[in-house]
Homo-oligomer: A and B are copies of this chain.
Amino acid sequence: MPSRLEELCVKKGLKMTDQRRVISRVLSEATDHPDVEEVHRRASAIDPRISIATVYRTMRLFEEAHVIDRLDFGDGRARYEEARTDHHHHLIDVDSGEVIEFTNDEMERLKESIASELGYDLIGHRLELYGVPRKRRADKSES
């Protein structure tokens, strides 16, 4: 059965090849934020007839069709996730690399308000928080 992303692509009029179907599926099934190499790895496991160049081309295609979002966690390579309607952000656990998603209405309101005060209409934004798990007890003893 077609993945959610594949159906979206078809709806957008994208020509669907075997490769694009596999990549759609990989992205639909992902619960993390894979980079291109990781998408290629997962796609290859399903169908080895897929080159990294095609993955790059497909990610760009999907991004331009707004069916996926490109993320940048500051490590020099692009990460991806299925496009979503909610405005959400990411908190990166710098110890484990884990990415926690969150939404925050006040944040949405605030950034609109900031842009507005500066005389701008907002067309995009990026917010990432980098943190470490909070210690249970207040121990300032640890360096």
Task: Check A123/B94 contact, CB under 8 A, given A72-B74, A74-B72, A129-B115.
Answer: yes
Main secondary structure of the interface of A (DSSP, over half): strand
A119 touches B104 (CB 8 A): no
A93 and B132 alpha carbons, distance in the complex (Å): 32
Query: Which residues of chain A in 91-136 are interfacial with respect to chain B, using CB atoms and an 8 Å cutoff?
Result: 91, 93-94, 100, 102, 104, 106-107, 110-111, 114-116, 118-135
A91 to B120, CA, bound (A): 9
Q: Are the C-beta atoms of B111 and A110 separated by less than 8 Å?
A: no
* Contact indicator B102/A116 (Cβ below 8 Å): no
In-complex Cβ contact of A131 among B74, B106, B121 (8 A): B121
Chain B residue nearest in CB terms to A116? B134
Asked if A115 meets B131 with Cβ closer than 8 Å, knowing A72-B74, A91-B120, A94-B123, the reply is yes
Taking CB as reference atom, which chain B residue is nearest A127? Answer: B127
If A74-B72, A126-B126, A126-B127 touch, does A120 touch B134 (CB 8 Å cutoff)? yes
Residues of A within 8 A of B (CB): 72, 74, 91, 93-94, 100, 102, 104, 106-107, 110-111, 114-116, 118-135
